[in-house]
Amino acid sequence: MNLELKDKVIIVTGGARGIGGGISQVLGAEGAIVAVVGRNSADNKDMVAAIKAAKGRAFPVTAELTKPKDCQKAVDAVVKKFGRIDGLVNNAGVNDGIGLANGNYADFMASLHRNLVHYYLMAHHALPWLKESKGAIVNIGSKTAETGQGNTSAYAAANGGRNALTREWAVELLPFGIRVNAVVVAECWTPLYEKWLNSLSDPAEMLQKITRNIPLEQRMTTTAEIANMVAFLLSSVSSHTTGQLIHVDGGYVHLDRAL
């Protein structure tokens, strides 16, 4: 299927590694021009090099998105380079374990900046260009907003905010033909996930415990599976889909995990 993403300029925050890296690679393979935005310039350049090696096109943008001014600078850099923005993927963030008992005001607010505030700011600054292109926004979210997890109040709150902003923006941007959707992730295999597992006393046992609770095939979701859904939602092939929270999770959130 031709997703009609060729030559579309799409920003992917946190686009150098993990889920964001998978999204960047899939979009590059679909012919989009990927603006890889993240704090680590070396990682950004490595991802851009990988996309180019696969005959795709990409551009690195170094930005610390917890700093509001860097959000503006990132959008400005993309517009200066390409003169347009056709899509925005808000993805950057981290499950940072700021809980109710073990957190405080400063940590909670810092986590919201890491995981939610830049979603708003990137969309806000990109909006004039998305209006011109009738582009699309995809927000990456987490199951923690719906299932809870324990000891991660700030991250759960941020993801609840991501879901709410998805629906709010879908309504606000209807007059401009801008579609807004979210892809909600449960258990996805990334280098960061692997690093966490390896910090435990028995990584293999924990991985087996986790995958037993994933109804479809008892396995982790891959970054490519997340990325393929994101590409679809950015494309004109999904032209009448907006305001949706789409779970790519092997049925983790909505099916009975006793299965």
215 shares its domain with 115: no
Residue 240 lies in a domain: yes
Q: Which of 248, 243, 233 is nearest to 3 (CA)?
A: 233
pLDDT digits (tens, 9 = 90+) for 193-241: 999 899 999 999 999 999 999 999 999 999 999 999 999 999 999 999 9
Q: Which of 105, 120, 155, 193 is catalytic?
A: 155
Q: Average pLDDT for residues 137-149, to the nearest whole number? A: 97
Does 181 share its domain with 194?
no
List pLDDT tens digits, range 89-129. Answer: 999 999 999 999 999 999 999 999 999 999 999 999 999 99
The answer on 212 and 88 residing in a single domain is: no
pLDDT score of 258 more than 90? no
87, 33, 17, 239: CA torsion to nearest 10: 30
Given a cut of 80, whether residue 147 has pLDDT beyond it is yes
Which CATH number is 110's domain given?
Answer: 3.40.50.720
Q: Which residues contact 160 (CB under 8 A, 6 or more apart)?
A: 145
pTM of this prediction?
0.97
pLDDT given at position 120: 98
Average pLDDT value over all residues in the chain: 97
111 and 210 in a common domain = no
Same domain membership, residue 195 and residue 182: no
Please tell me the total count of domains within the chain.
2
CA distance 139 to 146: 15
pLDDT of residue 259: 77
- Is the domain of 33 the same as that of 119? yes
Task: Evaluate if residue 257 carries a pLDDT over 90.
Answer: no
| pLDDT, position 18 | 97
Whether 146 shows a pLDDT value over 80: the answer reads yes
**71 and 15 within one domain:** yes
Does the structure show a pLDDT above 90 at 163? yes
Q: Is residue 238 part of a domain?
A: yes
Active site residue 155: yes
Dig out the tokens for 115 from the structure: 């995981």
Q: So what's the pLDDT on residue 132?
A: 98
Q: What is the pLDDT of residues 170-204, one digit of tens each?
A: 999 999 999 999 999 999 999 989 998 999 999 99
Domain ranges, residue 33: 9-186+223-246
- With tokens 């950015």, the residue in question is 234
Closest by Cα among 42, 52, 56, 46 to 8? 56
Q: Which structure tokens are listed for 42?
A: 């070396």
